[in-house]
Amino acid sequence: MKNILLFAVMLGVLTLNSAQADLSEAIDDEANELAQKVVAWRRDIHEHPELSNREFRTSKLVAEHLQALGIEVQTDIAHTGVVGILKGGKPGGVVALRADMDGLPVVEKTGLPFASTQTSEYEGNTVGVMHACGHDNHVAILMAAAEVLASIREEIPGTIKFVFQPAEEGAPKGEEGGASLMIAEGVLQEPAPSAIFGLHIGQHGVAGTANYRPNGFLASAQRFDIEIKGVQTHGARPWAGVDPVVVAAQIINSLQTIVSRQIDITRAPAVVTVGSIHSGVRNNIIPETASLSGTIRTFDPDVRLAIHEKIYRIATNIGEAHSAQVTVDIDPGVPVTFNDAELTESMVPTLRRVYGAENVFMSGRITGAEDFSFYQEQIPGFFFFIGGRPPEIPPGQAIPNHSPYFYADEAALVPGVKAMSHLAVDYLEQINTEQ
């Protein structure tokens, strides 16, 4: 009798493993079939980038695609966000997959045949628009993953939410947007996912590789703005006014001593960068005002607060020393992108199966930031990077994200589709087994 029971259990396990293998093979086959489609979507989106909270064309493209797949679609979430809900044919839990849709105010210089020539308005200025951070790849990958998973919906043990998010790069000043607004408007409810997955492409790794890190992965980030008010005068008579340009220059130089001289960088990395300075309209007029804007990157909350205090103190004291009025504004920003350790451990085998164990690496900390971190504050999340560097480019010549020359090797697209698709199904199967 015992032998019969043991045989039945073994037969059940073999049948389950065989069914899982068949489903895994179906995912890979469908992803391979979509290779040309995902490239075409990516090129179309790349050629037509849109700034944060202005992703009207992109969201329409996504919504129409999901509707054509028979997926329930919700639109106008957090301005231009789109959510698709795919209900599998078997009962189970809920998981979310996320892609970000916005471009950057950058003039593209890649020379690609599908390079962007779009322009838009950003903070009162006419700017070029480019997918300089690779979000065009993310959208195309998740569109293809939706098609892959829709093709096997009857075998999916649960529900998958596809979250196409606007404004990851940050809403325009004075507006709300991004992941925090998506959450406020219910993206993690009805149905509520118990985990969320996201990816990001970059030339840090060659196409066909992936890297990850449990716990703190990407830095927290806050924007700071410093306004300086002096007294306008003739450029030939600087003593008759208060020069905000000189004040701005001294503030910029002094801010660079915060990390290099005032923070214990053995505790955690930190960055203070001034990214823009605006002042004046003519060479022989000392203007009345100057404006600085920059970013703060940290991994430790105490270090973050210390940097905030030092920025306030340095800027205002320098202003007072020169009889200028200085105000400092630091926004709440985004928290550290924190990968749930247990979820990461359980899902890394999926990445190794897709990319090959030799092509999946543990990453160091990255001082870039991601508002995916807001989802991770609510539910366990796993965020990983995929390589997008062409093999002929040496690592030392990798083009960074946000560069006007940034581009991604399209060989990274299909593996990205497989990764997102397998992560969703593997997670649902795991939690069903645990229950």
Q: What is the largest CA-CA distance in the chain?
A: 104
190 shares a domain with 91: yes
What string of pLDDT tens digits covers the 435 residues of the chain?
656 655 544 544 455 567 778 899 999 999 999 999 999 999 999 999 999 999 999 999 999 999 999 999 999 999 999 999 999 999 999 999 999 999 999 999 999 999 999 999 998 899 999 999 999 999 999 999 999 999 999 999 999 999 999 999 999 988 999 999 999 999 999 999 999 999 999 999 999 999 999 999 999 999 999 999 999 999 999 999 999 999 999 999 999 999 999 999 888 899 999 999 999 999 999 999 999 999 999 999 999 999 999 999 999 999 999 999 999 999 999 999 999 999 999 999 999 999 999 999 999 999 999 999 999 999 999 999 999 999 999 999 999 999 999 999 999 999 999 999 999 999 999 998 876
Kindly state whether residues 255 and 321 are assigned to the same domain: yes
What is the CATH classification number for the domain harbouring 356?
3.40.630.10
Same domain flag for 73 and 173: yes
Q: Please state the domain count of the chain.
A: 2
Same domain flag for 199 and 225:
no
pTM for the whole thing?
Answer: 0.91
Both 22 and 158 in one domain: the answer is: yes
CATH number, residue 259: 3.30.70.360
- Note the pLDDT tens digit of each residue in 28-50: 999 999 999 999 999 999 999 99
Write down which residue in 300, 330, 360 finishes a domain.
Answer: 330
Give the integer Cα–Cα distance in Å for 156 and 92.
8
Give residue 13's pLDDT: 46
Note whether 291 and 233 are same-domain residues: yes
| Residue 150 · residue 97 · CB < 8 Å | no
The residue from 275, 299, 330 where one domain ends is 330
Q: Are residues 302 and 359 in the same domain?
A: no
Residues 50 and 184 in one domain: yes
Same domain, 368 and 279: no
The H helix count followed by the E strand count for the chain is 10, 18
> What is the residue range of 134's domain?
2-217+338-434
Per-residue pLDDT of 106-143, as tens digits, reads 999 999 999 999 999 998 899 999 999 999 999 999 99
Residue 303 and residue 344 share a domain? no
Which percentage of the chain shows pLDDT scores above 70?
Answer: 95
Residue that terminates a domain, selected from 279, 299, 330: 330
Helix spans in 290-369 (H): 301-321, 341-355
Classify residue 258 by its DSSP letter.
I
Compute the distance between CA of residue 264 and CA of residue 139 in angstroms, rounded to an integer.
39
Are residues 63 and 150 both part of a single domain? Answer: yes
